[in-house]
């Protein structure tokens, strides 16, 4: 379920609310009771990039280990 950021324009209270996409938007402030509670526009916490991976996934993926006998694709070929 997504988490939405809400803010009351009357009292200034801010709350993160977990609710279904199909749930109605909240309008009544839980602190002051005014009808000035509104959903805020926020940025997504991830970026999609490339071949379906998140930018943050596999960022520091370790290099594959080479065989003791060496391999043609190893950057240190012939040095083992």
What span, in angstroms and rounded, lies between the C-alpha atoms of 11 and 26? 15
For residue 80, name the pLDDT band (cuts at 50, 70, 90).
very low
- What is the reported pLDDT for 41? 86
Is the model's pLDDT at 26 over the cut of 50?
A: yes
- What is the reported pLDDT for 34? 95
Query: What pLDDT digit, counting tens, does each position of 37-53 carry?
Result: 999 988 776 666 666 66
Ordered by start, the domain boundaries in the chain are: 1-42
Is 69 or 40 the better-scoring residue by pLDDT? 40
The CATH number assigned to the domain with range 1-42 reads 2.20.28.10
């Amino acid at each position: 379920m997504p988490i939405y950021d809400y803010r009351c324009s009357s009292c200034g209270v801010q709350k993160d609310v977990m609710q279904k996409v199909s749930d109605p938007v909240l309008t009544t402030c839980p602190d002051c009771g005014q009808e000035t509670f509104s959903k805020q526009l926020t940025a997504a916490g991830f970026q999609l990039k490339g071949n379906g991976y998140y930018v943050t996934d596999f960022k520091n993926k370790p290099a594959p280990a080479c065989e003791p006998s060496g391999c043609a694709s190893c950057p240190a070929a012939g040095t083992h």
